[in-house]
């Protein structure tokens, strides 16, 4: 039986990664390496799939060459409803990172049964409409945890050591020997205290990396489990007041929106550093600029912003000792490869009639 699949990749999670991951579902299992995601592996104990019956079509979306944005009722999507509807004709399964799964797309694609989003959350999918149309939506949790944790550590070091600014000045012919004065230098991680707000897959990896530097790690997360790498604190205020470096790893929710504002920055010790590689909505950036300009904060490092791309009149562009990257903390080749394999594994489960591992709308199975 032929199963039509659409691989709607982009310039990061490439179509060839989706196709390779689907082909791996038919590869012999490797008993010495029983886990997924990993190249050339199936889940142990499950039969090989006959992948010769897969009819795979491809659509390439423009992200990140063109920024993502809202498409109809979904956000952070790439491409148009019209091109996706055309590409999905007759398809039962779609693997994508950014394609917009909207009410209009669902209504026009009655054969669709599985929509796989290779991101940490399916923000480009209308879950309510998908459920109503009998379409299961899966996603790829943890795909970028290692990349984001490594980037976070790099941002911390860049800020406390002024690496980007001094590099830029040196390239311009300016030798900032005055930064060696006691009041101009930053803190060490060894023996210092780093506070992590949010302790999921990324926060846990950051804590383990920091342990190698000899840092004490505090964590504020009501849902976090103890793992021996961090000390849990009962309140955000306690974490802020005790931490020389604060790194944010919380999800963007109504509860966490603006969680770091002027009052919270004032609670941090003078000369401390704030890092955000999570979501721009967590921080009041105007308050951060005030704290940097007053000298209360030694530095800050941001990969995410409330408006992306960053506006040309943003105060962050002129505030002292700010390290910024354009929302690419999770960008690594391994992230794209893991993302494709995680969603392809759920395609395999779907084709075998097995429960999905990462379904965002499990109620769809009660309504079918």
Q: Which residues are catalytic?
A: 279, 308, 327
Environment class of 180 (CB within 10 Å of its CB; exposed 0-12, middle 13-18, buried 19+) = exposed
Q: Are 63 and 97 in contact (CB under 8 A)?
A: yes
Residues 6+ positions from 23 with CB-CB distance below 8 Å:
51
Chain center to CA of 289:
25
E strand or H helix that includes residue 223: none
- Residue pointed to by tokens 């991680």: 189
Tokens of 318: 């002129």
Chain center to CA of 335:
9
Chain center to CA of 155:
16
- Give dist(CA 310, CA 313) in Å, integer: 8
Chain center to CA of 358:
16
Sign of the dihedral defined by the CA atoms of residues 283, 285, 287, 289, in that order: positive
Residues 6+ positions from 171 with CB-CB distance below 8 Å:
none
- Give dist(CA 161, CA 361) in Å, integer: 45
Q: Are 323 and 299 in contact (CB under 8 A)?
A: yes
Going by their DSSP bridges, the two strands 193-197 and 136-138 should be labelled as unpaired
E strand or H helix that includes residue 202: helix 201-213
β-bridge partners, 96: 8, 117
Residues 6+ positions from 66 with CB-CB distance below 8 Å:
78
Going by their DSSP bridges, the two strands 74-77 and 69-71 should be labelled as antiparallel
């Amino acid at each position: 039986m032929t199963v039509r699949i659409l691989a709607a990749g982009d310039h990061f999670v490439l179509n060839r990664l989706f196709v390779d991951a689907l082909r791996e579902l038919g590869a012999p299992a490797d008993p010495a390496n029983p886990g997924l995601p990993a190249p050339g592996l199936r889940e142990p104990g499950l039969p090989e799939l006959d992948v010769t019956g897969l009819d795979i079509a491809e659509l390439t979306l423009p992200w990140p060459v063109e920024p993502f944005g809202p498409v109809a009722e979904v956000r952070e999507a790439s491409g148009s409803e019209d091109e996706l509807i055309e590409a999905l004709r007759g398809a039962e399964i779609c693997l994508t990172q950014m394609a917009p799964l909207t009410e209009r797309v669902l209504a026009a694609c009655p054969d669709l049964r599985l929509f796989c989003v290779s991101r940490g959350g399916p923000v480009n999918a209308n879950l309510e409409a998908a459920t109503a149309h009998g379409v299961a939506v899966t996603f790829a949790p943890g795909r970028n945890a290692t990349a984001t944790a490594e980037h976070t550590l790099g941002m911390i070091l860049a800020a406390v050591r002024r690496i980007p600014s001094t590099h830029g000045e040196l390239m311009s012919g300016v030798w900032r020997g005055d930064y060696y004065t006691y009041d101009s230098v930053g803190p060490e991680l060894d023996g210092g205290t780093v506070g992590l707000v949010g302790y999921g897959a990324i926060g846990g990896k950051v804590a383990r990396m920091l342990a190698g530097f000899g840092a004490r790690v505090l964590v504020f997360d009501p849902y976090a489990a103890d793992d021996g790498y961090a000390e849990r604190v009962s309140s955000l205020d306690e974490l802020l007041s005790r931490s020389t470096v604060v790194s944010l790893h919380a999800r963007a929710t109504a509860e966490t929106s603006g969680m770091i504002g002027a009052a919270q920055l004032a609670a941090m010790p003078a000369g401390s550093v704030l890092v955000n590689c999570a979501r721009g909505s967590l921080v009041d950036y105007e308050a951060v600029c005030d704290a940097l300009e007053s000298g209360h904060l030694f530095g800050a490092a941001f990969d995410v912003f409330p408006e992306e791309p960053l506006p040309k009149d943003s105060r962050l562009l002129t505030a002292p000792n700010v390290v910024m990257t354009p929302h690419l903390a999770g960008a690594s080749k391994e992230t794209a490869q893991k993302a494709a394999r995680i969603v392809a594994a759920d395609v395999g489960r779907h084709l075998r009639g097995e429960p999905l591992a990462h379904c965002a709308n499990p109620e769809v199975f009660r309504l079918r």
